[in-house]
Structure formats: C-alpha cells, structure tokens
Amino acid sequence: MRAAIIRRYGRPEVLEIGEVEAPTPGPTQLLVRMRASSVNPVDCGIRSGALRLFIPQRLPKVLGIDYAGVVEAVGEQVEGFAVGDEVFGFVDIRTGGAYAEYAVVEASTAA
C-alpha cells in the first residue's frame, strides 16, 4: 500500500511516498481505510527528530496520528464497530501510520 514515510529525521523534505506492507489488525484493533489525516504538531516533532528522546522511533516510519476513515476489518474481541462504519480518532504515537491508505488502530481510541 502507499504511505508517506520518513527514512531519516529532518525537514519536511524527508517525507516521501513509498510502498509499505499493509497492516493486519489484532484482536482489539480495527483496520481503517484512511480518508483524511491531519498534520499534528507531534507528527512534525517526530519527523524532525525533536521528540526522539521522548518517543523513540524505528525508521523507516509511516507518520500520522489523527485520522478519519472507514472500518475495513474488525478484531475478534472488538465490540461496537462493524465493517463499513465511519470512524475518527488517533493512532498510537509510538506506531503512527495514519499517513497511509490503511492503518491499524485500537478500537478503544476510535469513535
């Protein structure tokens, strides 16, 4: 799938569009097809490296915390969500991933 990734810390120019493996939801997670994502100040801090001591990252990394999208798959322990539901929320800061076609999110962080 296509995603905006960073391979090194730096200015906005380090963001590139690339191919990454599509995520698979775990038992408490949703697979969401992204429709929108914001540029959160935390994303900028992660990209620049300013937050690397507080929020360690593995590079390459798909950035993106805030999102809106549509549920594509539901983990076996998830209740209250179904395929096709429109949702919004945030992705775990440590994993990121909303700057992609699909992202896995904890159901407890989606509305």
Both tokens of residue 17? 């569009």
- Cα-Cα-Cα-Cα torsion 72, 4, 6, 46, nearest 10 degrees, comes to -70
Q: Which residues contact 54 (CB under 8 A, 6 or more apart)?
A: none
* Residue pLDDT, tens place only, 10-29: 999 999 999 999 999 999 99
Hey, where are the domains in the chain? 2-109
Quick: pLDDT tens for 22-81. Answer: 999 999 999 999 999 999 999 999 999 999 999 888 999 999 999 999 999 999 999 999
Q: 87: closest CA among 25, 36, 41?
A: 36
- CATH architecture of the domain with range 2-109: Alpha-Beta Complex (3.90)
- Distance (Å, rounded) from C-alpha 39 to C-alpha 46? 11
pTM: predicted TM-score of the whole model, two decimal places = 0.91
